[in-house]
Structure 1
């Protein structure tokens, strides 16, 4: 397949590496220092030195009938690339990023027949000195069975969920408190206090209340179960999780993403968001 990836940062580069190694024709569209690094290497390079050759470009070729364009930029950066996506001859455009916002504007921008959405929930990657250090597990979720098959064949375990709007909002409600705790843990070098865990548990509950207030289901089932746990149980789980390597790893990603998600939920339902604002890093 002929695949373009807009935004080959940590996540986009991981998909580019796997898809290229699976034999696909992959073009990465980058800018700034990342573009310069990729132009020199002409490959995605893992931390262990393993390489996957890619074509490097500074803009998306509108005339190329891409089988799929993966958009792995951050949510605030999407508006800047929509004109190029709208003009593109791509057969499918799959957006892949964290958001709580409505998906309809993206669908309208590229056309319902081309629009796809997914989330790389099983991909955790650090980008260090231009090289990727990936951990790829189960958890990536998309709304297109063909794309799921493509990713699975490339070594990225992927499942299908048709209601990605509900899935994304549920995921945002769950991860914002986890990422906020991670920021604390990474800075402190130690887990949170019980009181801090309780504050984040209140934010956890508030996020799911906002999801329900917008008429969305809590998806997938495992998150639905966690959303119904008693507050003291959630507090205990957050307190324990803050003492794991996973929490510290989340903190290494920085505060920008949990801030963004909390701000989105506050915009969506300011009357319910006070507990979330209380944990905004």
Structure 2
């Protein structure tokens, strides 16, 4: 299959690596320093020295009938690529990023018949262009709206499942991970874990975000997160306090605070005046 990946950061590069290894023709669309690295290497290169050859481009070729264009930019960056996606001859456009906004706008931009959405169960980072990633193979797996692509990903070594209500899934996930991202971003900047008082504030923000998901008419999903949402604040705080002290988690904080800020802003915009705890933790 011909697959283009727009935004080959840690997540996009992991998909590119696995899909190329599985025999697909993969083109990565990048910019800036990442584009320069990929043009130099003509491959996804791992920290362990493994390589998977890919094609490299500075722009998405609108004339190619891609079987899949996988969009792994941040939600705040997607507007910049929407015109190219809309004009593309791609058969399927799958967006894959954190968002709290309704999915209708993206569906309308590329057409309902070729729209798909997903979320990766992958921990990944790039250090000087070298990829380090861990693919979750048990528990909450990579989740997508399309069964055919779930199979393609699974066959490439990225176990994936289908969820019928991706908007609820994404909103639940945003409410859950925003406090985690703030915790690990803070711990990365300080090189020290958050305090217990900070962890409690983060836990209250998590509770508020999950309440907001319900208020908006969405379902807390999947079930493991629904169970988590019923835990006392002190238990959630203990999880956040501990996470901020794990080196593997702290490393992910190098991405900074841009993503949690944009998610908090989207949550606040969805319910003006009803998110004081979330706004209190906004970095």
TM-score category (smaller protein): over 0.9
Is this contact kept in 1: 2:123–2:135, CA < 8 A?
Answer: yes
- For structure 2, which runs of at least 5 residues remain unmatched after alignment? none
CA RMSD in angstroms comes to 1.3
Query: 2-side partners of 1:77 and 1:255: how far apart?
Result: 15
Superposition deviation, residue 50 in structure 1: 0.8
Counterparts of 1:193-204 in structure 2, within 5 Å, are 193-204=195-206
C-alpha distance 246-43 of structure 1, shift in aligned 2 (>3 A): closer
Report Cα offsets for 1:217-258 as digits up to 9, x if no partner. Answer: 011101111111122322233233333334413323221111
Query: 2-side partners of 1:209 and 1:220: how far apart?
Result: 15
Report Cα offsets for 1:23-75 as digits up to 9, x if no partner. Answer: 00001111222222211211111111111111111111111111110001111
Match of residue 132 from structure 2: 133
TM-score (norm 1): 0.96
What SS does the aligned partner of 1:116 have? Answer: strand
Deviates more, 1:51-60 or 1:230-239: 230-239
1:213 to 207, 212, 215: 215
What SS does the aligned partner of 2:281 have? Answer: coil
Match of residue 45 from structure 1: 45
Counterparts of 1:100-249 in structure 2, within 5 Å, are 100-120=100-120, 122-138=121-137, 139-249=141-251
- For structure 1, which runs of at least 5 residues remain unmatched after alignment? none
What SS does the aligned partner of 1:23 have? Answer: coil
1:273 to 249, 272, 275: 275
Query: 2-side partners of 1:113 and 1:251: how far apart?
Result: 37
Is this contact kept in 2: 1:60–1:84, CA < 8 A?
Answer: yes
Counterparts of 1:4-83 in structure 2, within 5 Å, are 4-83=4-83
Query: 1-side partners of 2:236 and 2:25: how far apart?
Result: 45
What SS does the aligned partner of 1:20 have? Answer: helix
Aligned length: 280
What SS does the aligned partner of 1:191 have? Answer: coil
Superposition deviation, residue 4 in structure 1: 0.6
Query: 1-side partners of 2:251 and 2:215: how far apart?
Result: 32
TM-score (norm 2): 0.95
Query: 2-side partners of 1:233 and 1:55: how far apart?
Result: 47
C-alpha distance 270-27 of structure 1, shift in aligned 2 (>3 A): same
Is this contact kept in 2: 1:181–1:247, CA < 8 A?
Answer: no
Is this contact kept in 1: 2:125–2:252, CA < 8 A?
Answer: no
Superposition deviation, residue 191 in structure 1: 2.4
